[in-house]
Structures are given as C-alpha cells and as structure tokens.
C-alpha cells in the first residue's frame, strides 16, 4: 500500500502536526461498517468516520435522496426565501428532539452550531433587557469546534495555544471525574452532585447577573469520553434555572442516536434550552448542523430587545437543499430500520467487551456511554502518546480503524454495528494490547 506522504501533497492536512509527519490513509470507497482502499483492502470503521456516519457508510436511501435533491433544486438561500424540505425537515427534527424543543436554526457544521448557539444565548438576554449577561461558562476537556466562540469555551488547552486572544469573560467548570478513584466510570455515583455544585460556586464568583450561558457536552467526546455522573446534568439544569442562565448541550457527537436515544437530553432526562447538533444529522454525507432551541428562547429573542435593532445571523448554505434531503432520509432510516432498537440490543455486548479490556495490560480506565468508548492506556515510560499510537497502528494492521488521542483509544462505530462487529472490535484491541513475545 503506497500512501502519499502529507508533506508531498498540495493540501493542508487536518491538524498539521508539527512534531511528526503523518501518512494519511487513502480510502476511495466505503459501505456499511467498512472503508475500502483503492486496492480493495477493507477496514472496519470503529469511528463512524469522525463520529458521524451513524447509519453506516453510503447508506443507499441517503445517497439516493441527495442525488434526487441535487437534480431538482441545487441551491436556494435561506435569506428571504426557502424550499419545502427546509420546512418539513425542521418540523420532523423538532419532533425527534426532546419535548420542549420547538425550533431549529440550520447551519453547516458543529463549529457553526456552537458559535450560533452562543450568539443566540447573548441575543436572548439582550432581547430581555439584560445586556450585562455576556459571560459564558464551558468545562474542562470540552470540545466545541474550531470557531473563536467554540474555541473560547472549549477546555482543551493545546487547541487554543496558537490562536489567542480568545473571547474574554469565559470561565470553566471542572470535569466531573476523579482521576484518583475513577469512581464515575466505575459506576459509583457519589460525588456527582458535588461536582455540579462547582457551577454554583463559579456563578457566585462571577456574579449570576453577568452569566449568559453554560455549555457542556452531556458526554465529553473528543476530550476522552467522560459520561456524566448520575444526577450531574439535572443539577446543572437546576442551578441554571435558579439564576436565569441558559443551558446549552453540545450534542454534535451524542445527537442522532449515539446513546440509544435521539439525543443525550432524552437519555439523561434533562432538557437544555439549546442543543447544538451536526455530524450524524446527515449521516456525514453532506455538511449540516443545527441549533435546536426551546420555544421560550425563540420567542424572546425574536421579539427583540427594547430598542428593537435588527437581528442578523445566518450562513449562505443554511438549510441547503441537499442537506435537508439527507436529513430527511436519515430520519427515515432511524424509523424504518429501528436504528435505536438495534443499538440498544447490541449495547450489553458492547459494555461487556469494553469491561473485558480492563484486565488488559496497560489499561488505566475504560469508559462507555451508549456506543461510545474510551480505553485509556498508561503512557509508555517518558513518551506521551506512544502507546496510543502503537495501539492505533496495531489495530489498523489488523483491519480496524480506531482513533487515538494521546494515550486514549476512542471508539464510536456506526450504530448499525452487529454483535460480531462489536466482538471483532474489542478482540482486535485486546490483541493489540497483548504483550508481544
Ligand atoms: N462540538 C462537538 C461536541 C464536537 O465533537 C465537534 C466535532 N468533533 C464540534 C463541535 C465541531 O464540529 P465540526 O467539526 O463539524 O465543526
């Protein structure tokens, strides 16, 4: 397999690594659970692309819907005009979302969804005559895309270091995870409420009347799959309500079935004021994102501020016809193929496979939430990331694509994964971690 070297190519690779020159993998086809290289090598996709191909690759009904839409209406702007699928898809999407979510603002990516949500939060307070409420609260290890807003509220320091200054007046909650005991990932809920009470302390330090919104991923994704301890999200909701602060769930990863429910909000029984989504929305086939908002938030900011200035926000490709067609087809697949039912049936095998890895050499912690899993490895003496990279490579050599982030292996396969796929995934990782002779 001769793969082109990134240094020889004319494009700038995603995340240009300064330290070493990665050889990008070359895939030219995909179907179902697999990527295929030009010479026909099939690789099991343990990451659903980049947490997005939830219904499996090249889903025929989604492909056909995009093809049909492209031949009929290639583009129409959302500025003073629209098309039928934008309206019907919005309606269907809000029905798929938790009760209380009634409107969607269409964007083209997770990053745009986050920046739009942060802007809506500020506009909401502004419209209600509370223009002092501008502060934003994120959380340690949070990932919210690459826009300046998302980067500012994010909690992964190395992503920010080259791009400052970012937004002022941003504070961060601690991650609700005790590294000493790893209690939360071991099913011990104690401490969850105390972890959420860090928000009360933070809000008091910053003065509640100046805080616009809190944004969290219900399950931290890119930062290493940290599920919330029991009661944690409900307590965040309570604290936000007490102080009139908007709660935003960034569901770019957890949305569209990843946890066995349409959104994490339904899995944890907590409805935020705004939900950001993207990725699985169109099964990754065309770019699309959305900000789902409650009727209360929508009504307030549409009514406008006391001085009633124009509210202007939107993107050229908002509610793009191809994206709306793909979005519709994705919801069809959810219904017709019972994706959530299938996923819930496979979850026990998933959890058992993940737990088995706890006894593998070098494994520090294994965390799961729905069809997400992080396998945290002990760094090899003195070389951070080396063990993660080695495990990634061994899995790949064995035909399984995982994601390595430092010394953590992350899994997020398509939701159509069968029991045999799940067994293959965990057996391959187990073998990759086995001591070599
Ligand atoms: N928020 C979360 C939680 C994400 O995981 C991501 C992407 N991994 C984003 C936002 C940004 O999405 P995009 O890359 O589509 O801009």
> Does the Cβ of 414 fall within 6 Å of ligand 1?
no
In a domain, 68, yes or no: yes
Domain housing 238: 62-336
Out of 336, 353, 375, pick the residue that ends a domain. 336
One domain, residues 121 and 148? yes
Q: Please report the pLDDT score of residue 293 as a whole number.
A: 97
> Does the Cβ of 221 fall within 6 Å of ligand 1?
yes
Angstrom distances, CA of residue 344 to CA of 49, 59, 97, 174, 265: 21, 20, 18, 31, 17
CATH of the domain at 229: 3.40.640.10
Q: Which residues pair with 43 in a beta bridge?
A: 35
Distance 222 CA to ligand 1 centre (A): 9
* Tens of pLDDT, residues 181-190: 777 666 666 6
The residues of the chain scoring below 70 in pLDDT are: 1-23, 184-190, 308, 437
One domain, residues 134 and 274? yes
Q: Please report the pLDDT score of residue 92 as a whole number.
A: 98
In a domain, 1, yes or no: no
Out of 321, 336, 351, pick the residue that ends a domain. 336
Q: Which atom of ligand 1 is nearest to the CA of 147?
A: 16
Q: Assess: ipTM above 0.90.
A: yes
Distance 279 CA to ligand 1 centre (A): 8
Q: Please report the pLDDT score of residue 7 as a whole number.
A: 55
One domain, residues 425 and 365? yes
> Does the Cβ of 108 fall within 6 Å of ligand 1?
no
Out of 306, 336, 366, pick the residue that ends a domain. 336
Distance 307 CA to ligand 1 centre (A): 35
> Does the Cβ of 224 fall within 6 Å of ligand 1?
no
Q: Please report the pLDDT score of residue 390 as a whole number.
A: 95
Q: Please report the pLDDT score of residue 291 as a whole number.
A: 98
One domain, residues 331 and 345? no
Q: Please report the pLDDT score of residue 185 as a whole number.
A: 66
Q: Please report the pLDDT score of residue 3 as a whole number.
A: 53
> Does the Cβ of 138 fall within 6 Å of ligand 1?
no
In a domain, 275, yes or no: yes
**pTM attached to this predicted model:** 0.96
Nearest to 334 by CA among 255, 434, 234, 241: 255
Mutate to test the pocket of ligand 1, among 50, 54, 114 (most ligand atoms within 8 A of CB): 114
Distance 20 CA to ligand 1 centre (A): 24
> Does the Cβ of 109 fall within 6 Å of ligand 1?
yes
CA dihedral 233, 270, 226, 283 (to 10 degrees): -150
Q: Please report the pLDDT score of residue 311 as a whole number.
A: 80
* Tens of pLDDT, residues 315-351: 999 999 999 999 999 999 999 999 999 999 999 999 9
Q: Which atom of ligand 1 is nearest to the CA of 222?
A: 5
DSSP string across 43-75: EEETTHHHHT-TT-BT-HHHHHHHHHHHHH---
Distance 253 CA to ligand 1 centre (A): 7
Q: Please report the pLDDT score of residue 9 as a whole number.
A: 60
Angstrom distances, CA of residue 238 to CA of 136, 191, 235, 244, 330: 17, 17, 5, 10, 33
Q: Please report the pLDDT score of residue 301 as a whole number.
A: 80
In a domain, 93, yes or no: yes
> Does the Cβ of 217 fall within 6 Å of ligand 1?
yes
One domain, residues 251 and 362? no
> Does the Cβ of 277 fall within 6 Å of ligand 1?
no
In a domain, 242, yes or no: yes
Q: Please report the pLDDT score of residue 20 as a whole number.
A: 47
One domain, residues 216 and 251? yes
One domain, residues 287 and 346? no
């Amino acid at each position: 397999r001769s793969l082109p070297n990134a240094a020889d190519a004319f494009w700038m690779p995603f995340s240009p690594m300064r330290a070493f020159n990665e050889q990008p993998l070359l895939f030219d086809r995909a179907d179902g659970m697999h990527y295929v290289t030009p010479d026909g090598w099939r690789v099991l996709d343990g990451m659903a692309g980049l947490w997005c191909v939830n219904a499996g690759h090249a889903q025929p009904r989604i492909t056909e819907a995009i093809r049909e839409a492209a031949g009929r209406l290639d583009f129409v702007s959302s500025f003073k005009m629209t098309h039928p699928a934008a309206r019907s898809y919005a309606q269907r999407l809000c029905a798929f979302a938790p009760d209380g979510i009634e409107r969607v603002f269409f964007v083209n990516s997770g990053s745009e969804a986050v920046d739009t949500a942060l802007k809506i939060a500020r506009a909401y307070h502004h419209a209600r005559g509370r223009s002092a409420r501008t502060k934003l609260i994120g959380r340690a290890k949070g990932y919210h895309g690459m826009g300046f807003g998302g980067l500012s509220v994010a909690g992964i320091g190395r992503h920010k270091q080259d791009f400052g200054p970012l937004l002022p007046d941003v504070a961060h909650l601690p991650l609700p995870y005790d590294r000493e005991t790893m209690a939360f990932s071991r099913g011990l809920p104690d401490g969850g409420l105390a972890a959420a009470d860090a928000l009360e302390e933070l809000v008091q330090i910053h003065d509640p009347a100046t805080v616009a919104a809190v944004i969290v991923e219900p399950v931290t994704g890119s930062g290493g799959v940290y599920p919330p301890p029991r009661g944690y999200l409900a307590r965040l909701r309570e604290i936000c309500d007490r102080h009139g602060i908007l709660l935003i769930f960034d569901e770019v990863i957890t949305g569209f079935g990843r946890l066995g429910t349409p959104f994490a909000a339904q899995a944890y029984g907590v409805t935020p004021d705004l939900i950001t989504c993207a990725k699985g929305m169109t099964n990754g086939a065309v770019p699309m994102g959305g900000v789902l908002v409650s009727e209360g938030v929508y009504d307030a900011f549409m009514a406008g501020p006391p001085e009633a200035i124009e509210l202007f926000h939107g993107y050229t490709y908002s509610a793009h016809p191809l994206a709306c067609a793909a979005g519709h087809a994705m919801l069809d697949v959810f219904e017709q193929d019972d994706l959530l039912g299938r996923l819930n049936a496979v979850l026990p095998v998933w959890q058992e496979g993940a737990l088995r890895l706890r006894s593998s050499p070098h494994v520090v912690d294994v965390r799961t939430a729905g069809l997400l899993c992080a396998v945290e490895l002990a760094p090899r003496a003195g070389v951070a990331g080396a063990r993660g990279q080695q495990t990634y490579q061994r899995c790949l050599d064995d035909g399984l694509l995982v994601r390595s982030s430092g010394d953590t292996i992350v899994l997020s396969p398509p939701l159509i994964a069968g029991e045999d796929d799940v067994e293959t995934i965990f057996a391959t990782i187990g073998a990759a971690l086995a001591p070599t002779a």
